[in-house]
């Protein structure tokens, strides 16, 4: 869809487009410091993206304006809005800044569907808004459930058990949940995630690691077969992103 009249909400392109028709980034920059982050080096010098969150000027008011435009132009046909592609919207700074919370309040006010993909248990802070809202899906990103691997691959994300607990709590609420297994850093690590989380999510997205080398080489055909078989055994719905295509 065209971004006619929109300032903060936009149509993503490339691999991001597989996730969503519309997207919104409360922050540019992220202190989770994931070694596989595709934004590192795209915005300033390598490492600069990790130096801290950079809220866009007037972002809350821009979102309010865009929501009004979307509601006027599309009404209940407005596609789901994805938060976020430029840094985790629940990175630690959000605890003080509360920009994501303000944006959630606006999205709910305009009765727009949205989903949040996060690695942070801080999302539970906003459960008072999210739990009763029918047009929200909670997404959680996992590369591993082994703390040593998490510390090596996602050093700013903290205790993996807290992330799992947050997913469990949303699942118990009956909220629609989904899991991003992107990127697959290791086939075995991804299988361990699946075996640990099982049916806590209604859907799994699986994406390959392409722009840096994985800890060990990954055969995409083998990965698709083993990961798909594990999810099939659990009866889980899933899809491989285009990054997992092979010739």
- CATH number, domain of 235, equals 3.20.20.70
> What is the distance in angstroms between the CA of the first residue and the CA of the last residue of the chain?
31
Q: What's the pLDDT at 229? A: 98
Asked if residue 154 belongs to a domain, the reply is: yes
Helices (H), the chain: 59-74, 94-97, 99-109, 127-130, 147-153, 160-172, 187-197, 220-234
Instruction: State pTM to two decimals.
Output: 0.94
Asked if residue 49 belongs to a domain, the reply is: yes
Asked if residue 146 belongs to a domain, the reply is: yes
Asked if residue 8 belongs to a domain, the reply is: no
Interhelix angle 99-109/59-74, nearest 10 degrees: 20
Q: What's the pLDDT at 110? A: 97
What SS3 class is residue 200? helix
Asked if residue 134 belongs to a domain, the reply is: yes
At 18, give phi and psi (nearest 5°): -70, -25
User: pLDDT truncated to tens, each residue of the chain (247 aa)?
Assistant: 555 689 999 999 887 788 899 999 999 889 999 999 988 877 777 778 888 888 888 999 999 999 999 999 999 999 999 999 989 999 999 999 999 999 999 999 999 999 999 999 999 999 999 999 999 999 999 999 999 999 999 999 999 999 999 999 999 998 889 999 999 999 999 999 999 999 999 999 999 998 889 999 999 999 999 999 999 999 999 999 999 987 5
Could you give the CA distance from residue 203 to residue 4 in angstroms, rounded to a whole number? 31
Asked if residue 67 belongs to a domain, the reply is: yes
Domain count, the chain: 1
- In which domain, by residue range, is 38 found? 14-242
Asked if residue 2 belongs to a domain, the reply is: no
Asked if residue 3 belongs to a domain, the reply is: no
What is the token pair recorded at 174? Answer: 């009956």
Contact indicator for 35, 212 with CB cutoff of 8 Å: yes
What SS3 class is residue 111? coil
Pairing mode, strands 81-83 and 22-23? parallel
Could you give the CA distance from residue 48 to residue 41 in angstroms, rounded to a whole number? 7
């Amino acid at each position: 869809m065209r971004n006619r009249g929109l300032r903060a909400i936009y149509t993503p392109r490339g691999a991001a487009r597989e996730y969503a028709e519309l997207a919104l980034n409360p922050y540019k920059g992220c202190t989770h410091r994931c070694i596989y982050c595709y934004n590192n080096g795209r915005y300033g010098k390598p490492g600069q993206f990790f130096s801290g969150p950079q809220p866009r000027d007037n972002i809350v008011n821009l979102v309010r304006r865009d929501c009004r435009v979307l509601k006027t132009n599309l009404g209940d046909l407005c596609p789901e809005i994805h938060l976020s592609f430029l840094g985790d919207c629940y990175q630690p700074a959000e605890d003080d800044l509360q920009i994501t919370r303000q944006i959630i309040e606006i999205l709910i006010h305009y009765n727009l569907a949205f989903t949040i993909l996060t690695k942070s248990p801080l999302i539970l802070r906003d459960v008072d808004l999210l739990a009763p809202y029918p047009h929200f899906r909670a997404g959680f990103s996992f590369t591993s459930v082994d703390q040593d691997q998490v510390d090596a691959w996602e050093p700013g994300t903290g205790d993996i058990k807290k992330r799992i607990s947050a997913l469990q709590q949303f699942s118990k609420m009956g909220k629609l949940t989904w899991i991003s297994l992107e990127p697959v850093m290791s086939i075995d690590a991804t299988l361990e995630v699946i075996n640990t989380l099982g049916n806590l999510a209604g859907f799994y997205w699986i994406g390959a690691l392409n722009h840096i080398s994985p800890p060990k080489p990954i055969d995409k055909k083998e990965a698709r077969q083993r990961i798909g078989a594990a999810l099939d055994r659990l009866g889980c719905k899933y899809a491989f992103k285009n990054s997992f295509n092979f010739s």
